[in-house]
């Protein structure tokens, strides 16, 4: 990296900045002819701002500092919050408050981040994760997550949204942490506490649309374009007239979370809703800027994308024409495993349902890599086998899949306890990066539903009716959960009392033990998809995944997806295999456990029959000297 690119740390130039003797205000507003800042307090005052040729308005107001509330006065006597407000203590429609980022005392000066391949991510929603529903409420649960084996927490979007109940994807003030969660100080305390325990923080950010209530950015800048449409309405203007300043707004936002809040990664929501046909795509520019600044800060930091495109260019490095994004959510693993467990084939799940799909998701990444999709009625995706497992974030549950694919019903309420344990074993032993959804680790049964608290009655009714129509086939009239109802939100709160009760405590123990094994053994944590091999039998419903490491260590997970015990043929490949884990162990809640499977090694036929119980998995390790490594891949009957 050239020294010139790293010589100066990034700082937020726009919004309100505390300077010597006062506060400097700067706004890019090319659509306005006049702008003033109104300083609130005992004696409110309105100060006109100077405009330059580039559409920037600025003024420095002496005698004020951190904690000052202010608004911008636009033409037509319209009072608006700062589009780059660091804090909206009175909600999305209220005044902004000046925050000095230097006033928080960080204790993570030695923090260097977590290597991407070591990410075990725990996705949570701040409002429903704890009874308090706040950033600081999470801090008390961090030792629990550390004991479980979590290395990174992922926060669903936390920027200021209307009211106090929302998933966060309706964010209005993209620089202001949600006031009801604890505002800027609360989020910084949480990040600080995570780093003290060696855990990274991933922040979910939304750059594909703006919230429908309280987002006043369009009053200042031409942030929308009519050239494209998204599922949420007009697309963000990343490549049209005046798009340079719009791009800067979102690029600065990513660097803001990295710099001022010390986050370790951002997860870009639904990038298939980001359209940019300029010569340099906004996602490429964002990834490069983010990596450059993290290098300057001396920390490892990552960009992770959510995409349903199955396009490997997203995670390919820039030197071969990719965007240089570090990793992406890969839903194909979830869909393949979920359909095998549940037989659900609704909607996009119609494209999945066999162990072939699951094997391909493990060894390649994308199941649809240019093959025909019945759901889309066209070919979909491209080839991803050459990318490392650490570039694919996989799960058996996440907020979207629980709420949208199964009426808010978690896996614990859809399948048996044994099937849950089988799914967990396959997830945590796969060569990709595992993501857990809050409560999954103890079999939480509280639903996770869509909820909102819009103040605009017409908008609230529109969302209610739209959601009801979209999911009409899934709900009877009397069952539909009203997104605006407080009761819908309250139903989604985790029940922490379950953690200490069986069988929930048994499930927690299983997750903790599997994550411990993953940490301890290179063959389970090296993310080497190229050294993963899967064989399976669709008719008999068994699957065997073997993972290897250049050190000579190897792991073998034998999975029985049928309701009957069966003898599964496996090859020892010249190794001695020691049993280290099986889901049928009594400590994981099996009331009448079968005889545990034993160790095995090569013999004359080099084929062994391992008896595996119904919906069970056994994990074997070989820790002897290095042998001949097999090329990874999938083979089935």
Strands 96-97 and 392-395: unpaired
Q: Which of 170, 276, 293, 306 is catalytic?
A: 306
Q: How many CA atoms lie within 13 A of 542 on its CB side?
A: 21
Strands 616-622 and 576-582: antiparallel
> Do the Cβ atoms of 134 and 140 come closer than 8 Å?
no
Is 306 considered catalytic here? yes
User: How many whole angstroms from its chain centre is CA 432?
Assistant: 14
CA distance 104 to 66: 12
The count of residues in the chain is 637
> Do the Cβ atoms of 335 and 351 come closer than 8 Å?
yes
**Token couple for 597:** 């499977």
Q: Across the beta sheet with 554-560, what order do the strands follow?
A: 600-601, 576-582, 616-622, 554-560, 542-548, 532-537, 633-636
Q: How far does the chain reach from its first CA to its final CA, in angstroms? A: 50
Give, in order, the Cα–Cα distances in Å from 431 to each of 221, 427, 479. 44, 9, 40
> Do the Cβ atoms of 399 and 341 come closer than 8 Å?
no
Strands (E), 113-178: 121-124, 152-155, 159-160, 173-177
CA distance 69 to 97: 4
3-state secondary structure 460-509: HHHHHHHHHHHCCCCCCHHHCCCCCCHHHHHHCCCCHHHHHCCCHHHHHH
Q: Which of 69, 269, 332, 585 is catalytic?
A: 269
CA distance 149 to 525: 13
CA distance 601 to 620: 11
Give, in order, the Cα–Cα distances in Å from 308 to each of 169, 369, 398, 405, 486. 17, 12, 15, 15, 32
> Coil, strand or helix: which one is 176?
strand
CA distance 597 to 392: 32
Which residues are designated catalytic? 269, 306
């Amino acid at each position: 990296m050239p020294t010139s690119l790293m010589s100066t740390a990034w700082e937020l130039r726009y919004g309100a900045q505390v300077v010597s003797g006062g506060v400097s205000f700067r706004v890019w507003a090319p659509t306005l002819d006049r702008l003033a800042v109104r300083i609130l307090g005992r004696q409110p005052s309105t100060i006109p701002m100077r405009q330059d040729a580039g559409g920037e308005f600025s003024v420095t107001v002496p005698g004020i500092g951190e904690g000052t509330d202010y608004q911008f006065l636009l033409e037509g006597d319209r009072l608006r919050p700062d589009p780059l407000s660091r804090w909206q203590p009175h909600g999305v429609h209220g005044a902004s408050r000046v925050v000095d980022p230097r006033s928080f005392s960080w204790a993570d000066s030695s923090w260097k981040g977590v290597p991407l391949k070591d990410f075990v991510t725990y996705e949570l929603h701040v409002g429903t994760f704890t009874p308090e529903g706040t950033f600081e409420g999470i801090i008390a649960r961090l030792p629990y997550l550390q004991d479980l084996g979590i290395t990174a927490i992922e926060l669903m979007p936390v920027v200021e949204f209307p009211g106090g109940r929302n998933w966060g994807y309706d964010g209005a003030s993209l620089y202001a942490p949600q006031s009801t969660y604890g505002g800027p100080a609360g989020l910084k305390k949480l990040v600080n506490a995570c780093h003290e325990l060696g855990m990274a923080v991933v922040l979910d950010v939304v750059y594909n649309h703006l919230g429908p209530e309280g987002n006043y950015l369009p009053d200042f800048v031409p942030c929308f374009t009519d050239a494209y449409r998204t599922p949420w309405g007009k697309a963000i203007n990343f490549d049209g007239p005046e798009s340079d300043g719009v791009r800067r707004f979102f690029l600065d936002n990513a660097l803001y979370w990295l710099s001022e809040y010390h986050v370790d990664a951002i997860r870009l929501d639904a990038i298939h809703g980001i359209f940019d046909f300029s010569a340099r795509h906004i996602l490429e520019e964002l990834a490069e800027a983010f990596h450059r600044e993290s290098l300057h800060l001396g920390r490892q930091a990552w960009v992770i994308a959510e995409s349903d495109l199955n396009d490997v260019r997203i995670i390919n490095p820039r030197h071969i024409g990719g965007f240089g994004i570090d990793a992406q959510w890969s839903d194909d693993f979830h869909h393949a495993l979920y359909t095998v467990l549940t037989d659900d084939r609704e909607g996009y799940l119609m494209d999945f349902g066999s162990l072939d799909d699951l094997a391909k998701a493990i060894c390649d990444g994308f199941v649809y890599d240019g093959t025909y999709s019945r759901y889309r009625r066209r070919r979909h995706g491209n080839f991803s086998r050459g990318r490392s497992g650490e570039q694919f974030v996989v799960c058996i549950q996440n907020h979207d899949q629980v709420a949208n694919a199964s009426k808010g019903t978690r896996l614990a309420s859809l399948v048996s306890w044994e099937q849950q344990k089988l799914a967990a074993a396959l997830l945590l032993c796969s060569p990709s990066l595992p993501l857990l959804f809050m409560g999954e680790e103890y079999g939480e049964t509280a639903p996770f539903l869509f909820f909102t608290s819009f103040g605009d009655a017409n908008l609230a009714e529109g969302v209610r009716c739209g959601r009801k129509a979209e999911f009409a086939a899934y709900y009877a009239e009397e069952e539909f959960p009203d997104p605006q109802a407080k009761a819908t939100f309250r139903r989604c709160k985790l029940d922490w009392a379950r953690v200490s009760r069986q069988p929930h405590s048994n499930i927690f123990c299983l997750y903790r033990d599997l994550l411990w094994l993953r940490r301890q053994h290179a063959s389970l944590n090296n993310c080497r998809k190229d050294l993963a091999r899967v064989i399976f039998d669709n008719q008999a419903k068994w699957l065997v995944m073997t993972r290897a490491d250049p050190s000579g260590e190897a792991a073998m997970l034998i999975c029985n997806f049928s309701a009957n015990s069966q003898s599964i043929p496996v090859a020892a490949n010249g190794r001695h295999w020691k049993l280290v884990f099986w889901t049928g162990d009594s400590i994981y809640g099996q009331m009448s456990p079968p005889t545990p499977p034993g160790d095995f090694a090569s013999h004359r036929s080099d084929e062994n029959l391992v008896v595996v119980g119904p919906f069970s998995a056994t994990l074997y390790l070989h820790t002897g000297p290095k042998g001949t490594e097999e090329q990874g891949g999938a083979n089935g009957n």
